[in-house]
Amino acid sequence: MAGLNLRRTLFGGSDIAIDLGTANTLIYVKGIGVVVDEPTILAINKGDGSILAVGNEAKKLIGRVPDSIELVKPLRDGVISEIEMAEELVKTLLSRAIGRAYSKPRIVICVPNGVTSVEQRSIETAAHATGASEVFTIEEPMAASIGAGLQVFEPVGNMVIDIGGGTTEIAVISMGDVVNANSVRIGGEDMTERLIEYLRSEHAMLIDEGIAESLKHAVGSAFQFDKEPQVTVTGRDIVKGVPKQVLLEASDVRDALAPIVNEIIEAIRISLSRTPPALVSDIDKDGAWLTGGGSILKQLDRKIAEELGIPINMTDDPLSTVVVGSGICLERFEDFRTVLKSSPKPN
């Protein structure tokens, strides 16, 4: 029972880093590592508002719930849109992983670079609501750079491109600070929506988000690749209401995703154009780092490299880079104190 061991290890409380993402929530416990990695989604009973399922269990219900149940995604475009639901999700996942042993931890919570002060406050409030003794925030691109193992305090330009579910954040980091950042509110979930829309408009077929996401993972790409597969997608015929199957080529899926991929590339181009020349030359030499779940799209690294003429490096585990980077800040708190911002307790 991993949970019990964790509980024992953590007796008396320990420090925690949280990456509350649009698509996935990850929690890192100091001295242990990543203990929670689940989708940011809850199933709610519409009648009495009770929570029926959280995380993986709730995601399995996509496309299968009756009218009496609502699936809630408490983040939109990287920021909290339903604060109470976000708090419930974090509390539930945390207590499921480590019980009540997390009482009064120090919490580091990741915030997207492009958030407004109101959005930032709601993320901090969710962290305080878990019973933290102290809350710090860290900008996601900074956390991603640390998680990718980059030398963030050196006078060298490090470019990190984090393609998440709801946002893409591009940042250039040098000497322990974000030199410039560009955040666009598009990501992997927009790719999934494009596929739903493509099948609706081109094939008069309805598929749900779960099927569209599996299709994207299986055959989605940004650039031609060897032995491109075909895939049969099953959905509902919009006109007749009966089951329908469509055979798609990988190139069909790639064409459907292209507008989103191009928007991401444009955002990177803008970011490069705003970067001081000396730092651009560092990026040209060392390459930019690609992370976030959206970056796993096949051949996306190649497409970006071809379009922008800079080398692209992939991080080892794109889905956990941000939380691992925040976790490193907890492990080596004094070394990384300057990249953390203290958040006062709300009244």
Ligand X SMILES: Nc1ncnc2c1ncn2[C@@H]1O[C@H](COP(=O)(O)OP(=O)(O)OP(=O)(O)O)[C@@H](O)[C@H]1O
Q: Using CB under 6 A as the criterion, which residues of the chain lie in contact with ligand X when the complex forms?
A: 21-24, 78, 164-167, 187-189, 192, 213, 216-217, 220, 292-294, 296-297, 319
Q: Considering the complex, what minimum distance in angstroms separates the CB of residue 123 from ligand X?
A: 11
Residue 213, binding choice from ligand X, Mg ion, none, Cβ under 5 to 8 Å by partner class: ligand X
Closest residue to bound Mg ion by CB: 164
Q: Considering the complex, what minimum distance in angstroms separates the CB of residue 50 from ligand X?
A: 25
Q: Decide if residue 220 touches Mg ion (CB under 5 A).
A: no
Closest CA to 326 of 9, 10, 16: 16
Nearest residue (CB) to ligand X, 145 versus 167: 167
Q: Considering the complex, what minimum distance in angstroms separates the CB of residue 162 from ligand X?
A: 6
Are β-strands 177-184 and 168-174 bridged in parallel, bridged antiparallel, or unpaired? Answer: antiparallel
Nearest residue (CB) to Mg ion, 39 versus 235: 39
Q: Considering the complex, what minimum distance in angstroms separates the CB of residue 74 from ligand X?
A: 11
Question: Among 39, 74, 164, 188, which residue sits at the site for Mg ion (rule: CB under 5 A)?
Answer: 164
Nearest residue (CB) to Mg ion, 14 versus 168: 168
Restricted to residues 8-27, the positions that interact with Mg ion (CB under 5 A) are 21
Q: Write the DSSP string, 163-226.
A: E-SS-EEEEEEETTEEEEEEEES--HHHHHHHHHHHHHHHH-EE--HHHHHHHHHHH-BSS--S
Q: Three-class SS of residue 250?
A: helix
User: What's the first-to-final CA gap in the chain, in angstroms?
Assistant: 39
Nearest residue (CB) to ligand X, 217 versus 269: 217
Angle, nearest 10°, between helix axes 117-128 and 83-98? 40
Pairwise CA distance, residues 321 & 271, whole Å: 21
Nearest residue (CB) to Mg ion, 40 versus 174: 40
Nearest residue (CB) to ligand X, 41 versus 101: 41
Across 278-305, b (16+ Cβ under 10 Å) vs e yields: ebbebbbebbbbbbbbbbbbbbbbebbb
Q: Considering the complex, what minimum distance in angstroms separates the CB of residue 89 from Mg ion?
A: 15
Restricted to residues 16-75, the positions that interact with Mg ion (CB under 5 A) are 21
Nearest residue (CB) to ligand X, 141 versus 244: 141
Q: Three-class SS of residue 143?
A: helix
Indicate if the alpha-carbon torsion angle 121, 36, 212, 194 is positive or negative. Answer: positive
Nearest residue (CB) to Mg ion, 141 versus 157: 141
Residue 294, binding choice from Mg ion, ligand X, none, Cβ under 5 to 8 Å by partner class: ligand X
Q: Decide if residue 327 touches Mg ion (CB under 5 A).
A: no
Q: Considering the complex, what minimum distance in angstroms separates the CB of residue 294 from ligand X?
A: 5
121 beta partners: none
Q: Considering the complex, what minimum distance in angstroms separates the CB of residue 297 from ligand X?
A: 4
- Report phi then psi at 74, rounded to 5: -75, 0
Pairwise CA distance, residues 115 & 276, whole Å: 24
Pairwise CA distance, residues 48 & 55, whole Å: 20
Q: Considering the complex, what minimum distance in angstroms separates the CB of residue 293 from ligand X?
A: 2
What strands, in cross-sheet order, belong to the sheet with 24-29?
A: 33-39, 24-29, 16-20, 106-111, 134-139, 341-343
Residue 183, binding choice from ligand X, Mg ion, none, Cβ under 5 to 8 Å by partner class: none
By CB under 5 A, name the binding residues for Mg ion. 21, 164
